[in-house]
Structure 1
Amino acid sequence: MLAIGQHSTRSLTVTMADTALAMHSGSLAVLATPRLIALCEETACELIATSLVAGQTTVGTHIDLQHQAPTPIGGIVTVTCTLTAQSVHHFSFDLVVKDAKRQVAIGQHERVKVDTKAFMAKVDNV
């Protein structure tokens, strides 16, 4: 079981493929918010991974991210994801993203533990 306050960090060096221009979420060659959200989810998944057993995974159910500053190509952003609450199937996290100069984003994220086969069976029935 994870402990409240446990955290994980993950960094990304921004490439052209990570930009708003490349992801069609804007017209500038700076880190795209959708790519930043994905990095935050990757970091949360990494933190939770040790608490899962075979056949389990987590799915994101909510993310609230304030993208506060741009990061150019070549810039490095680091996400710190900290567990703030958990129950049998639910995990909540605080997110802080920084680059070398400043805070880039803050937010919260929630994930739910699911049985992989049961979850995919729901998808197959849609």
Structure 2
Amino acid sequence: MRQKQFTVTKDLTAEKMGSGGLAVLATPAVVQMVENTCFEYLQEKLDSTKTTVGVKFELVHLKPSKIGATITVEVDIELSQSGKTLFLFQCYEGNVVIAKGKHQRVEVKTADFLNQL
């Protein structure tokens, strides 16, 4: 399990990100928080020639959070095989679950991946 905390800033609101009109935590910002937590967790285990990329995301955003709120992202590996890792996650504000879902990342060789561009 891995946990990481984030603070809701004005830049992370739906109003600022363009995903809605309110000054509350944007759903795309929740996605970024989860991806960042999973990325950092896996990156610690890889050599410098490899990284992971997100390929699948399933999210239920249950409750709003205001500017200044502290969001704790908790991720657990559900399955890891053949360079693919599936995470289960929950995001909390205090003890309240504000979002939950699944996120999958795939290990790639950085140079090979960039050569596809």
- TM-score, with structure 2 as normaliser: 0.97
Aligned partner of 1:22 among 13, 16, 19 = 16
After superposition, residues 72-111 of structure 1 pair within 5 angstroms as 72-100=66-94, 102-111=96-105
Counting matched residue pairs gives 117
Q: Which one has the bigger strand percentage? A: 2
CA distance in 2, matches of 1:47, 1:88: 17
1:32 aligns with 2:31: no
Any idea what the Cα deviations from partners look like across 1:39-98, whole Å, max 9, x if unmatched? Answer: 000000111112211210000000101000000011111000111111131001001001
Q: Please state how far the C-alpha of 1:101 moved relative to its aligned partner.
A: 5.0
RMSD (CA atoms): 0.9
- TM-score, with structure 1 as normaliser: 0.90
Which runs of 5 or more structure 1 residues have no equivalent in the other structure?
1-6
Structure number with greater Rg is 1
Cross-structure match for 1:50? 44
CA distance in 2, matches of 1:86, 1:20: 33
Cross-structure match for 1:8? 2
Q: Following TM superposition, where does structure 1 have runs of at least 4 consecutive aligned residues deviating by more than 4 angstroms?
A: none
